[in-house]
Amino acid sequence: MTIHKEGYKIIAISTILFGIINILSFYFLSFSLPVISWLLFIATLGLLIFVISFFRIPKRTLTIQENAIVAPADGKVVVIEEVQADEYFTDRRIQVSIFMSPLNVHVNRNPVSGEVVYSQYHKGKYLVAWHPKSSTENERHSVVYRKNGKEILVKQIAGALAKRIINYLQAGQKVEQTGEMGFIRFGSRVDLLLPLDAKVHVKIGDKPQGGVTVIASW
Q: Which residues does the annotation mark as catalytic?
A: 188
pLDDT value, residue 160: 63
Residue 31 backbone dihedrals phi, psi, to 5 degrees: -90, -40
pLDDT tens digits in sequence order for the chain, 218 residues long: 799 888 899 999 999 999 999 999 988 888 889 899 999 999 999 999 999 988 999 999 999 999 999 999 999 999 999 999 989 999 999 999 999 888 888 899 999 999 999 999 988 665 655 555 556 567 889 999 999 999 999 999 987 665 678 999 999 999 999 999 999 876 688 999 999 999 999 999 999 999 999 999 98
The structure's pTM equals 0.84
Q: Is the dihedral of CA 199, 137, 84, 149 positive or negative?
A: negative
Give Cα 129 distance to the centre of its chain: 11
Q: What is the pLDDT of residues 185-195, one digit of tens each?
A: 766 889 999 99
The whole-angstrom separation of Cα 120 and Cα 142 is 5
Instruction: Tell me the H-state helices in the chain.
Output: 8-28, 34-54, 134-137
pLDDT value, residue 137: 63
pLDDT value, residue 35: 92
pLDDT value, residue 31: 82
Residues in the chain: 218
